[in-house]
Amino acid sequence: PQAFLTAVMQVTARKNEWPLDKLAIVADVTKRGPEEIEGATRDGAYIHGLFIEGARWDTGTSSVEESFMKELYPALPVVLIKAATQEKLEGREVYACPVYKTQSRGPTYVFTAGLRTKAPPAKWVLAGVCLLLDVVE
């Protein structure tokens, strides 16, 4: 996964003639499912198959919300992964959500995805909200 993210950043850096060390990964959660994506995007890449733990993604408000009872790992819609300059990321009201390969967290950390939230980000930190690439139930 890290090599894929690096490739997205390198392609963007070369295309826009930006220095690679000034870029960061941006994760924009769309409202679409994988069957609704017609083709590739011009900037970045579409991914799907992520799960959220400790909360849920509300497609109506496009933000992190409280999870429903007995819904442990709700799936996220398609996510657009792209690179942007770090200056553009500052000042956004987002929760810096860690992304892990598996539920064991710790050594399986991949990257941090900025998820929109209406609640203070500290609420999701205390709830232990994270994104997972693979869930074993």
Q: pLDDT tens digits, residue range 111-132?
A: 999 899 999 999 999 999 999 9
Give the angle 103-105-110 at the CA atoms, nearest 5°.
110
Q: How many C-beta atoms lie closer than 10 Å to residue 31's C-beta? A: 11
Cα 4 from Cα 45, distance rounded (Å): 10
Q: Is 79 helix (H, G, I), strand (E, B) or coil?
A: strand
Which one-letter amino acid corresponds to residue 68?
A: F
Q: pLDDT tens digits, residue range 32-73?
A: 988 888 888 888 999 999 999 999 999 999 999 999 998 999
| Res 91: pLDDT | 59
Percentage helix, strand, coil for the chain under 3-state DSSP, each rounded to 5:
25, 35, 40
